[in-house]
Structure 1
């Protein structure tokens, strides 16, 4: 399922989104799509809504148009639809091509693309340096030759990235619609079904190696003229092979392949007409050999790394889809003996009458507890009326020092005299700064509270064998060890609806 324009518009990491979406146990359903958006920081709510009510929808919403999840934006009397490509539909066309499914979303700051490093600015800078050097120090024919080499490098890189599932806007604009309905202009049939394999490299990979080498050799013109001319003559073999595959084997022509052939033909013409053979040089020959070896090795290395990564992601997606199956999670949850805590009203947050009750066994000085509390706070923020949470801090007077006693007293004072929001803010502040004085200041009281309930809670935890922190307890069952605590997000909705756990 393709929805590149939608993912780009929401500024999401496409690879991360695809991985999470494909690993969802309900893939490729609307629920899987909605849950993945939530996971990526795009809060959303899904509805089945008759078309007569669509006029009341916000300016932007997500719908299933032509069997693809699509972003729909109102634009006057028409609608702009973004999925695998952008298109404009009128109201009647939109209604006819859509199901009743709509998804209303709200972007958050976590929805921004989290790509660690973008190599394109560096690539463009290198291109600019080469172009500047070519036009200021070389002849016009040599500069044009280098421009063609850079164009070949850029297009070959786009094809290389597309081989590993990254969508290329450039390739898409050259090839047009690459769907199965338009195979006559499809580049996929030629590029993705390339049967050439030399040490794992495809015919398109050698295009990248070839143009990279020529881009470097072109900087040393006219000294490298005889070698450059030789390679352009050899390119006739590649041109003939490519045309044969397109015309007689696949029986369809690839626009981007024809563009590369045009570049090769242009370079061949320039070398024949303008380049004069320079005296033979062993140094230039060695430079050429080292250059091709380096280019070949680099492309082979990155191709293998990306192939392994793609294979690993597919394998992980299948494993996670199995792991995130709710029935499997439930069976692991119920394997543990149910824990019955004594009723206490200390540090109970959220809706007390909710069907999902989460307890977190914690300690303010536990370094690992910070992440557990962040998950708890996130659940309370998203499901304020559907979940209750109890924070069960361990406390033993004989082992606690004065500052811990005062810290716990401050928390209890804030809980008893302030709002839940103020209490949560104090707990969050503590785990961020570990500064007791800030919590004492937020409390506004120096009196020591009665901490008997915490002593009882600690005994209760110990009697149930809950001696480590942090630990999640869901409706009386300890969170399974086979799952990470963050995995709770994938099961919250089912947990709230499961009558067996009420």
Structure 2
């Protein structure tokens, strides 16, 4: 019986492939397990009945937020999503496009309540400006302004204000700002963003990105 004889170069090549496979196998196995886990997790997170159960057992709003902040009405809304946020909060900026995508489906009314989270004048100016834009009643302009603000890597109020000039609208926002602050204190809002769905706080087991699976 004849055996195939390999050259030293071929032997090194085969050994190299074998060693590479041995070193990568745990990683590839782990990746396969990770994909399987993610798939199972996605099925759990998209279970509407389970979401409703957790939501109904989470914290409920005790005072109505009606009339506060910015309100974007959905075309066929079945859910009211309330986002309590700070215009300079990084996580708030990251959740904005996710909530915008939900809003575009028409399934939700999106309400945004702003709190300054520090009370410095620039933050209050920014909130006042966003409220002033919304008070003009132009839905698309309001959405664009929110997108422009939150998409900035470095928040620049002066540049933003130049792009969205206002006149008397700014002086009319003080009562709204105070009402939002009073409401947030009454509801004991301790961090931003805080999300409420139909008056109940989003359970900690869910992220904003998970809402696309259950709010349909």
TM-score of Structure 1 vs Structure 2, range by shorter chain: 0.7 to 0.9
CA contact (8 A) 2:58 2:201 kept: yes
What residue is the counterpart of 1:408 in the other structure?
127
- TM (norm. structure 1) is 0.39
Q: Give the C-alpha shift of residue 379 in structure 1.
A: 1.4
Query: Against the structure 1 CA distance between its residues 464 and 375, is the aligned structure 2 distance closer, same or farther, given a 3 Å change threshold?
Result: same
* Residue 315 of structure 1 pairs with residue 34 of structure 2: no
Q: Give the C-alpha shift of residue 363 in structure 1.
A: 0.5
What residue is the counterpart of 2:104 in the other structure?
381
What residue ranges of structure 2 are gaps of 5+ in the alignment? Answer: none
What residue is the counterpart of 2:202 in the other structure?
479
How many angstroms apart in 1 are the aligned matches of 2:66 and 2:75?
12
What residue is the counterpart of 1:230 in the other structure?
5
Q: Give the C-alpha shift of residue 380 in structure 1.
A: 1.6
How many angstroms apart in 2 are the aligned matches of 1:300 and 1:440?
59
What whole-Å deviation, never above 9, does each CA across 1:155-205 have from its counterpart, x for those lacking one? xxxxxxxxxxxxxxxxxxxxxxxxxxxxxxxxxxxxxxxxxxxxxxxxxxx
* Residue 417 of structure 1 pairs with residue 136 of structure 2: yes
* Residue 393 of structure 1 pairs with residue 120 of structure 2: no
Query: Against the structure 1 CA distance between its residues 446 and 289, is the aligned structure 2 distance closer, same or farther, given a 3 Å change threshold?
Result: same
What residue is the counterpart of 1:451 in the other structure?
174
What whole-Å deviation, never above 9, does each CA across 1:381-410 have from its counterpart, x for those lacking one? 121xx32111000148xx533322322222
User: Whose Rg is larger?
Assistant: 1
What residue ranges of structure 1 are gaps of 5+ in the alignment? Answer: 1-227, 232-283, 494-502
CA contact (8 A) 1:350 1:389 kept: yes
CA contact (8 A) 2:82 2:111 kept: yes
Structure of greater relative contact order (alpha carbons < 8 Å, 6+ residues apart): 2
Query: Against the structure 1 CA distance between its residues 405 and 484, is the aligned structure 2 distance closer, same or farther, given a 3 Å change threshold?
Result: closer
How many angstroms apart in 2 are the aligned matches of 1:400 and 1:419?
28
Count the aligned residue pairs. Answer: 209
Secondary structure of the structure 1 residue equivalent to 2:81: strand
What whole-Å deviation, never above 9, does each CA across 1:281-315 have from its counterpart, x for those lacking one? xxx64x45433321211133334432332233223
How many angstroms apart in 2 are the aligned matches of 1:315 and 1:403?
45
Q: Give the C-alpha shift of residue 441 in structure 1.
A: 1.9
What residue is the counterpart of 2:67 in the other structure?
344
What residue is the counterpart of 1:22 in the other structure?
none
- TM (norm. structure 2) is 0.84
